[in-house]
Structure formats: structure tokens, C-alpha cells
């Protein structure tokens, strides 16, 4: 395919970006396993990551939160009552508390109140057992992994399979953790350096919903950075800014000054119109115009998460016509896609983008 004059003009800007962050318009985009094979195994477990890799994931995603003694562990939130059996441990009953995090009052057990050794005594469980009873059968089998354990798995699978398996860490609530003396940025930087991942070409993306943490990390690290954006709300560290403003053409231009890509919630790329899928927005083209990659999140197969016209059957747990959503997203020109069902996502991607 010949390059257009506009594409040729963009080449110098693209060449300056990290190799893993450059928009992959002419190559197969990345399949990103959202918290592992989260539709089939309890999220953020090594078994879930192994399954996702076996199903074809290019990247596996951990959400990172700190322990009391400063270790980075892999949990969607620092509150672990919903994803572990901590409530069944009488020795930790006194740790239950209420905290305000990013303006929300939350009751439960929090990683920052436990040492790593203490956390290793609890076991992971399915977060959505009513929607995912098959995954819930694996409750109690695994401990909370550290980011290092996850990196070790990615390295081992890279050697075994002969293809790169990257990790896609998210810094969770960095402003909150800094406020209690457990800042994330330098801890994550130390992990990347220790594992040879602090480079432009390393198989890693660092993502965050907050802006300040990404700007700080840009000064510390050479790893590719992704600004996460949602349909509603705004960055916790910028109360006067909304994500809606951030995905305008001018907002995208501002993001390009400190990030290598954007991670939008899927309706920001393929909106829901009259209960079905509407035409793609201009967000992908807007980001590509500034040399940024686009990695939408998160496709889930259950009716509960799908637009009304894609639902099949009567149960919220039944799988709907998720392939239609995968197809629309892959064809929109995105550079990667988060999914809870790696095998389903990869199958549609490979049909659209043959090897």
C-alpha cells in the first residue's frame, strides 16, 4: 500500500515515539488481556494470565497498588474485600475500615494496611460470581501476585513461546497513595529498571487515569505512557477537567505533549446509538494525527455489558453478539484492544488482520 502525502508528512513525528507506542496502522494491533483471562478465571491471578497468554494475548494487564511495606501487588483496587477471601480471616477482622479515595467513601480491607507477607495468606476469588460462575469455580486457588511475579511469568512465557509477552501496568490512585506516604511512580520505575524495561522499545505500557502521575513518570522513565479516559467523570487530580474535554481534538493535542497514546472507554470509539453500534467517532484519527496509539477498554461478552441490540438470550450472564463489537472496534483502526475474553478477541482480530 502506498503512503499518502499526509502519511509521509507524519513520519518524522512517529519515528520519535517509542516503537511499542507507535500506531500500528499496517500491522496486527495488540490483543491486551484485561486483568488476565478475566471472563474465565478470577482476575489478576497468575492462572488467569497464563490462560490469556495461551489464548494469544500480546500484553497482560495488572493494576498496581502498594502494600504497607511498599511492595507493588496486583489488584484492581486497593480494597480487596470483593476479590479475595479476606473477610473469612478472623485475624484480619480488625483491619476492616472506611476510607475516602478519590472522593468516594469505601468500606473494606485495603492493601496499604497489610504487609506483603500478610496479603499472601489470603486467596483470590471471582469478583462477579453471578455473571461468571465458571470462573468462580477457581476461587481460593491462588494468592495475590506481586508485579515482579507477573513479570517473571511474562519473561518465562516469552522464552517458551518465542514471542514477546508484554505487561501493561496501571498506576491506581497515585494522588491518594502519595498522600499516605506510598507514592507509586518511583516504585514502578524501580521495577522497570530492575527488569530491563525502562526503554522506548520495551514490551511495556504504563497507564493511568490521572494526568499528574503520567507527567511525573515521563520525567523519570522512557517507557511508553497511555492516558486513560472514560465516558464520564475526569481525572481525580484535576477536579476542573473532564474526560469529555480531553477527547476533543484540542484535548488530544494536549495529551500528546506527555503521553504516547490514549486508552479510551470503548463508546468513545464506537458509540452506542439507538441501542446498537453507531459509526466510529473521529477519536482514532485525531490521536493518529498526533502520532498517538489508541487502546480502547474493555470488551466483555456477557449481555450485562453489551448494548441492547447485541444481547442474546434472557440471562445477563449469557454471551451476546460480542463479535460485532470486536469487529467494529478492530476495523476502526485502533492499535490495541482490552478484553476479558482474549480468545474471542484474538479470533476476530486475526480474521481482520491475517498474519
Pairing label, strands 336-339, 30-33: parallel
Q: What's residue 20's pLDDT?
A: 56
Task: Please give the angle made by the CA atoms of 339, 300 and 159, to the nearest 5 degrees.
Answer: 25
Gyration radius of the chain over CA positions: 20
Q: What CATH superfamily is the domain 29-76+128-352?
A: Phosphatidylinositol (PI) phosphodiesterase (3.20.20.190)
Q: What's residue 27's pLDDT?
A: 80
Whole-angstrom distance, CA of residue 289 vs CA of residue 291: 6
C-alpha distances (whole Å) from 152 to each of 8, 67, 70, 149 are 40, 19, 19, 5
Strand order in the sheet with 72-74: 72-74, 63-66, 170-171, 206-208, 225-229, 261-264, 293-294
Q: What's residue 15's pLDDT?
A: 37
C-alpha distances (whole Å) from 193 to each of 111, 178, 327 are 24, 21, 37
Domain ranges across the chain: 29-76+128-352
Per-residue model confidence as pLDDT tens for the chain (355 residues): 333 333 333 333 333 444 555 555 548 999 999 999 999 999 999 999 999 999 999 999 999 999 999 999 999 999 999 999 999 999 999 999 999 999 999 999 999 999 999 999 999 999 999 999 999 999 999 999 999 999 999 999 999 999 999 999 999 999 999 999 999 999 999 999 999 999 999 999 999 999 999 999 999 999 999 999 999 999 999 999 999 999 999 999 999 999 999 999 999 999 999 999 999 999 999 999 999 999 999 999 999 999 999 999 999 999 999 999 999 999 999 999 999 999 999 999 999 999 8
Amino acid at each position: 500500500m502506498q503512503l499518502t502525502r499526509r502519511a509521509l508528512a507524519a513520519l518524522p513525528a512517529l519515528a520519535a515515539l517509542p516503537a511499542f507506542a507507535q500506531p500500528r496502522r499496517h500491522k496486527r494491533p495488540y490483543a491486551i488481556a484485561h486483568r488476565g483471562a478475566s471472563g474465565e478465571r478470577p482476575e489478576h491471578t497468575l492462572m488467569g494470565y497464563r490462560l490469556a497468554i495461551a489464548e494469544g494475548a500480546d500484553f497482560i494487564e495488572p493494576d498496581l497498588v502498594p502494600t504497607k511495606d511498599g511492595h507493588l501487588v496486583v489488584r484492581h483496587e486497593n480494597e480487596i474485600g470483593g476479590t479475595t477471601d479476606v473477610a473469612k480471616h478472623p485475624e484480619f477482622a480488625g483491619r476492616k475500615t472506611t476510607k475516602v479515595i478519590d472522593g468516594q467513601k469505601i468500606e473494606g480491607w485495603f492493601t496499604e494496611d497489610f504487609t506483603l507477607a500478610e496479603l499472601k495468606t489470603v486467596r483470590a476469588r471471582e469478583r462477579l460470581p453471578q455473571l461468571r460462575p465458571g470462573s468462580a469455580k477457581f476461587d481460593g486457588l491462588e494468592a495475590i501476585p506481586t508485579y515482579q511475579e507477573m513479570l517473571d511469568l511474562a519473561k518465562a512465557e516469552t522464552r517458551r513461546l518465542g514471542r514477546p509477552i508484554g505487561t501493561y501496568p496501571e498506576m491506581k490512585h497515585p494522588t491518594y497513595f502519595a498522600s499516605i506516604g506510598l507514592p507509586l511512580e518511583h516504585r514502578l520505575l524501580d521495577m522497570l529498571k530492575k527488569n530491563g524495561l525502562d526503554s522506548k522499545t520495551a514490551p511495556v505500557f504504563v497507564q493511568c487515569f490521572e494526568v499528574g502521575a503520567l507527567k511525573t513518570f515521563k520525567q523519570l522513565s522512557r517507557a511508553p505512557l497511555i492516558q486513560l479516559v472514560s465516558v464520564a467523570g475526569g481525572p481525580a487530580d484535576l477536579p476542573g477537567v473532564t474526560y469529555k474535554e480531553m477527547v476533543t481534538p484540542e484535548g488530544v493535542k494536549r495529551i500528546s505533549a506527555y503521553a504516547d497514546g490514549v486508552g479510551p472507554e470503548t463508546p468513545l470509539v464506537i458509540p452506542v446509538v439507538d441501542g446498537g453500534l453507531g459509526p466510529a467517532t473521529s477519536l482514532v484519527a485525531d490521536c493518529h494525527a498526533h502520532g498517538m496509539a489508541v487502546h480502547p477498554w474493555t470488551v466483555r461478552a456477557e449481555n450485562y455489558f453489551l448494548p441492547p441490540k447485541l444481547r442474546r438470550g434472557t440471562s445477563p450472564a449469557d454471551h451476546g453478539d460480542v463479535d460485532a463489537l470486536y469487529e467494529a472496534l478492530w476495523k476502526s483502526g485502533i492499535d490495541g484492544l482490552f478484553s476479558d475474553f482474549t480468545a474471542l478477541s484474538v479470533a476476530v482480530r486475526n480474521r481482520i488482520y491475517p498474519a
